[in-house]
Amino acid sequence: MRFTKMQGCGNDYVYIDGEREDIPPEERPALAKRLSDRHFGVGGDGVIFIRASGEADFEMEMYNADGSRGEMCGNGIRCVGKYVYDKGLTDKKEITVVSCGKVKELELMTEPGKGRERVTEVRVNMGSPAFEPAEIPVKASGERVVDEPIAAGGREYRMTCVSMGNPHAVIFAKNVEQLDLERIGPLFENHERFPNRTNTEFVEILDEKTVFMRVWERGSGETLACGTGCCAVAAACVLNGLTGEEITVKLLGGELQIQWDRKSNQVYMTGPAEIVFEGEVDV
């Protein structure tokens, strides 16, 4: 089976052309888990299948490193945009991609290469953030979870919950770089308040336009970046009066530019997408 390894800000996935490689649906979770293994597989934060779609220009079917299905991946969808353009599957620089029934609009930014232009950055309309507890989902009594206490590991944190098509719990803290995420992350991911588990972002405010974030992703552990997480963080920052609507999110793997346009209630994410290598693997 042919594959392409790609990354956006260090958030790396194995990409498979679902039109050329006929992997039965029931086999995809186990295959994703095997390919994601960094010792015995290709290595990555998960696997994304790309195919044509009747709902959009393309469909992405995303699996986390543990084989569980993911609804959306911001870094992943940018790489899908690069994949389909660089490989000549489309000539359009404005495309749509659907994942789990949700359609996103992508603007592809290119530069000259050897022969065909290559995509270097992608701007994605990630849609509207959702704050209703049932939509995230999170167990809560109010209409929103903003700066609400949560107990984990014997201490109390303050969290703001957002859905960007997948669940996020945003925790504002100091000295985020020093946090023991291997210990803390699973406490939030598997907390009883999150029926479907959750992604957790630990955020340090640097100034009104810049934040630093580390993320514990549901099903993958700590990753170098999380696009939907950055979008959730931008919304949470505004709700808590900590930043403006446009911010730079500094990550372990790079930087993303995020804008929450409150007039249209749309969140825009801009960042890089790169091919790491390509190859074949026996399945």
Q: What single string gives the DSSP state of each residue in 13-67?
A: EEEEETTTS---GGGHHHHHHHHH-TTTSS--SEEEEEEE-SSSSEEEEEEETTS
9 catalytic residue (yes or no) = no
Q: What is the mean pLDDT of the chain?
A: 97
Question: 133-264 domain in CATH 3.60.9.10?
Answer: no
Q: Are 165 and 186 in contact (CB under 8 A)?
A: no
Pair of tokens at residue 60: 């992405």
What sign results for the dihedral spanned by CA atoms 220, 225, 231, 233? positive
Q: What is the pLDDT of residue 113?
A: 76
Segments of the chain scoring below 50 in pLDDT:
none
Instruction: Identify the pLDDT of residue 120.
Output: 97
CB 55 within 8 A of CB 83: no
Residue 193 structure tokens? 């308040």
Whether the Cβ atoms of residue 179 and residue 202 lie closer than 8 Å to each other: yes
Q: Which residues of 92-117 are buried (b: 16+ CB within 10 A; e: fewer)?
A: eeebbbbbeebebbbebbbeeeeeee
pLDDT at 187: 98
Cβ atoms within 10 Å, residue 245 = 16
Q: What pLDDT does residue 115 have?
A: 78
Parallel/antiparallel/unpaired status of strands 210-217 and 246-251: parallel
Fold match between domain 2-125+271-280 and domain 133-264: yes
Q: Residues near 91 by Cβ (< 8 Å), separated by ≥ 6? A: 85
Identified catalytic residue from 73, 161, 231, 237 = 73
Helices (H) and strands (E) counted in the chain, each on its own, are 4, 18
231 is catalytic: no
Active-site choice (9, 79, 161, 226): 226
Q: Quick one: pLDDT at residue 58?
A: 98
- Cis amide bond preceding 195, omega within 30: no
Would you list the domain boundaries of the chain?
2-125+271-280, 133-264
> In which element (H, E) is residue 235 found?
helix 227-239
205 touches 211 (CB < 8 A): yes
DSSP state of 259: E
Residue 28 has a CB neighbour count (10 Å cut-off) of 18
| Domain at 2-125+271-280: CATH architecture | Roll (3.10)
